[in-house]
Amino acid sequence: MAQKKIDIRALDLPTLQQHFSEMKEPAYRAKQVYEWLWEKSARSFDQMSNLSKELRQKLNENYAIHAVEINNAQFSNDRTIKNAFRLYDGNIVEGVLIPTEERMTACVSSQVGCSLTCKFCATGYMDRKRNLNADEIYDQVVLIDEQAKKNYNIPLTNIVYMGMGEPLLNYANVLKSIERITAPDGLNMSYKRITVSTAGIAKMIKKLGDDGVKFNLALSLHAANDIKRHEIMPITEHNSLKALAEALKYYFQKTKNPVTYEYIVFNNFNDEIADAMELAKFCKHVPCKVNLIEYNPIQFADFTNAEGDKIDAFASYLRNKGVNTNIRRSRGKDIDAACGQLAVKETA
């Protein structure tokens, strides 16, 4: 039986150096390979041109680079690009390039499917098959950056973990991917340009505080009322607004990072001034800003987007209460690439 190849990107540099020592190869060779993997984003050992042919062959025989590939790319009328990424085991996840006047943003996935069942999100209607490895998240960023340069001649400026899956339920791999993306011997991007979005896992928000993370945190709130929130986000049974408020206070105390609340405004559900009052009250717990988001229709749910004047009145109320509030317009709707619309329809 053939020996299973080792996933080389699962090894940190000291471990890789140990492997090279066992292969009777000098430690500096391990450093070269590590640079190829993370700084130069090599997708195969054959690209590692400063290694001998013999060493490349040895690596090919014993190790694997589980490179992510673009299976399919769709282009929106507003220049958004949605990618179906094929993973080494045949699973597919989606990631999006969102170009605007001032930034190029990659929206990346952290799980194949999702274990949460948010009623307004297409991914929530899929089963969670597995977590993504750190290198699979990293690869999405690399591929979307290449796409931004190729199509718009502008490199990536921002990354949001808002694709398929709940990032905080894949905690270790998400944090390792961010470490590689921000490391000087990785992609060397700034923490301040990375946002991790959660549906609200209170104990993991506290862990972010304990770990002193430097990236931005966004919380998908969508209702500052436990009954309404539970109706659309069953996660709330163990993550009440009281539990979330405590976790967010703890997180802010540890990191001093303000929080962003994402709030989809649904027609005749959470779009009244009474809802805005509840949200303004919740905003007093920690320094924050609010993004009001359009609802993007999916085939499984019958929600509709709130009327424009309702959203404007909602925003005005929050601003009058001193809450920093933005109204976000959706991108990529025509190719199902907008917030909440990511779900794999294809299997091939």
Domain range summary for the chain, segments of one domain joined by +: 6-64, 69-335
Q: Are 336 and 300 contacting, i.e. CB atoms less than 8 angstroms apart?
A: no
| pLDDT for 221 | 92
| pLDDT for 179 | 97
What's the pTM value of the predicted model, to 2 decimals? 0.92
69-335 and 6-64 share a CATH fold: no
**CA dist., res. 217 & res. 101, Å (int):** 23
Q: Are 94 and 342 contacting, i.e. CB atoms less than 8 angstroms apart?
A: yes
Angle, CA of 2, 131 and 40, to the nearest 5°: 70
Q: Where are the alpha helices (DSSP H) in the chain?
A: 13-22, 27-38, 53-62, 134-152, 171-182, 202-210, 226-232, 241-255, 273-282, 308-320
Positive or negative, the CA dihedral 211, 216, 220, 223 is positive
Q: Does domain 69-335 have CATH number 3.90.180.10?
A: no
> Residue 260 pairs with which residues in a beta bridge?
218, 289
245: nearest Cα among 211, 275, 200, 212: 200
Q: Which of 25, 94, 136, 294 is catalytic?
A: 94
Concerning whether 339 is annotated as a catalytic residue, the answer is yes
Structure tokens at 176: 């390792």
| pLDDT for 143 | 98
Q: What is the CATH number of domain 6-64?
A: 1.10.150.530
| pLDDT for 348 | 31
Q: Which of 114, 283, 288, 339 is catalytic?
A: 339
**CA dist., res. 334 & res. 336, Å (int):** 6
Mean pLDDT per 10-residue interval, the chain, length 348 residues: 83 95 92 97 95 94 96 90 94 93 93 77 71 97 97 96 93 97 96 95 96 96 91 79 97 97 91 96 97 77 80 95 88 56 45
| pLDDT for 50 | 93
Q: Which amino acid is at 217?
A: L
Concerning whether 283 is annotated as a catalytic residue, the answer is no
